[in-house]
Chain A
Amino acid sequence: MGRLAEVAVAGVYQTKQGDLSDRTQPTVWWEAVRGACADAGVGVGDIDGLIGEGPAGAGLRDRMPAAGLAEQLGRPIRFHARSSVGAGSTAAGLNLAAYAISQGLAEVVVIANAVAGHGSGYASASRDEAVAAMAKLSGPYEYVYGPTRVSDYATIAMRHMYDYGTTPEQLAEIAVAQRLGATLHPLSVHGHRGELTVDDVLSSRLVADPLHLLDCCSINQGGAAIVVTSASSAAGIGRHAPVVLLGYGEGHSHIDPNALPKLTEFAAAKSAADTAFGMAGVGRDEIDVAGIGDHFTIGVLIGLEDAGFCARGEGGAFAEKGGTAIGGRLPTNTSGGFLSFSHAGLCGIFSLIEVVQQLRHEAGERQVAGARLGFVSAVGGAQQAYGAAILGRA
């Protein structure tokens, strides 16, 4: 067991996903946090640590979220930090929570993600506004030419196909496997649409070649939260099999995609995974279930390669053989992932929660039999920053 084994994801909760434009960020934030606290067997009054954002307020309440939360709880928050791994900030936040708890700086730490209401920019309920806002994240040396997040990943996919012979069919297998998981998850945004075939993906319209509509995540709203405590208190309450953090690693590599020697491998992702596996003291072949950032199908494929679950260039064959499906070599994003479960705000929290539910053996029809070790890769931006966490059923 690695040195982080003393902390556990003790509680998890996911709200309805999809269109929450009739609700507000604070109501969704509190629903998620109350739910995760109840799941952990603690009360909201036990919270003494916060990672990331609190319930939205105004002015200083947003700039100083822990102070704002403390005011609402009527008791001090003893620890607050933010991570900067973009959508992957929950796994990164888990590491910060582990630090706080192991150092005695806090006992009950919450991390929550809530997107609701009408918002603006990339939190907008308007799909067009969100797409436009996300395009501008790339910076002026790119956005003047009209890229989108899809086109950023499309250029990665195009080069991967050129270098390694990866095919659109192989990418489609990832979307197909994940949609099946989504049909088995009652909260998923797209599960109700039913299963997909490779032909369905390939016949959906091209958004940015070679990526089709069904290679892309949805843009939707939703909320989720996790509660982190010491492993001993999680075990003491005993509502669920405790899921402990065994290893964590992080990597930040670039802003401009031109700054990398290649667009088909991401050294910071590899080093994040190496650090996490080294700390946990487990091997790649021991991992039973994974959550890998899947804003686009190519992200899963490259994520598998970067984390060392298959050799460079073999991600396509891995997916083609059903490697990412439930029952495959490494069931990945079994809830449906960002593609079919939910892509709201700091969506890495959904990848993490699904792995926790798998390790608790509470994933229902999606359950990976006997899952004991899970891997979560947290991707920030367009493969610009990474966190890698290894979780274990204690």
Chain B
Amino acid sequence: MSGYRKFLPEDIPDSHRPFWDSLRERTARVQRCDDCGTFRYIPKDICPRCHGGTATWTPISGRGDVYTYTVVRRAPTPAYQQDAPYVLVHVTMAEGFRMIASLTGADPQDVHIGMPVQLAYQDVTPEWTLCTFRPAG
């Protein structure tokens, strides 16, 4: 997989590692506030809802629906352009937070807001696994 030419995560702080490790383990876990139970996606030091200072890495269902999307036709680099047109989605997860990833396994013209999707995993290098969404069956 050393030929992977797309962007890989850089400068990930140690405090964010559990999320990326969970993708490699294929059981996505995100922070859940210990005080108010709110899930949050990109790791944070405090809870944006109640300002509580502790959280627990909690497995998520991976289910959600498309909040918005786009079809990228002009990609940022040649490596991505090989896949164009490709779909990027913002997904409202069952746990109430949103996340962004690619959507694969659907024709771009069939993608629509509200479409149910399921989180899947893409091992892109031995170190890194990324998310992708697929249409929920």
Contact = CB atoms under 8 A, between A and B. Distances in A.
Given A162-B113, A256-B42, A207 B7 contact: no
Interface in B72-106: 72-77, 80, 83, 86, 88, 90, 97-102
Contacts of B101: 145
B68 interface: yes
Contacts of A256: 41-42
Contacts of B48: 259
- Which of B70, B72, B74, B83 gathers the greatest number of chain A CB atoms within 10 Å? B70
Interface in B25-73: 41-42, 48, 67-73
- Which of B9, B108, B130 gathers the greatest number of chain A CB atoms within 10 Å? B9
B72 A258 contact: no
B68 A159 contact: yes
A311 B12 CA distance: 41
Contacts of B11: 140
Main SS of the interface on chain A?
Answer: helix
B76 A140 contact: no
Interface in A144-181: 144-148, 150-151, 154-156, 158-159, 162
B95 to A, nearest CB: 12
Nearest to A135: B76
A146 B73 contact: no
B8 interface: yes
Given A151-B88, A155-B88, A257-B90, A146 B80 contact: yes
A162 B1 CA distance: 39
Q: Interface size for chain B: under 10, 10 to 19, 20 to 34, or 35 or more residues?
A: 35 or more
A146 B99 contact: no
Contacts, number: 105
Contacts of A148: 72, 74-76
Given A144-B130, A146-B83, A258 B69 contact: no
A155 B7 contact: no
Contact of A141 (B41, B74, B76, B77): B41
B97 A206 contact: no
Contacts of A139: 42
Contacts of B67: 159, 263
A120 B41 CA distance: 32
Contacts of B88: 145-147, 151, 155
B68 A206 contact: no
9 interchain residue pairs of minimum CB distance: A135-B76, A146-B80, A154-B70, A140-B9, A159-B68, A258-B98, A209-B71, A155-B68, A208-B70
Given A158-B113, A206-B71, 6 more contacts: A141-B100, A151-B70, A151-B72, A207-B73, A207-B74, A258-B42
7 contacts: A131-B76, A140-B10, A146-B72, A148-B72, A150-B74, A151-B70, A155-B88
Interface of A: 128, 131-132, 134-136, 139-148, 150-151, 154-156, 158-159, 162, 205-211, 256-259, 263
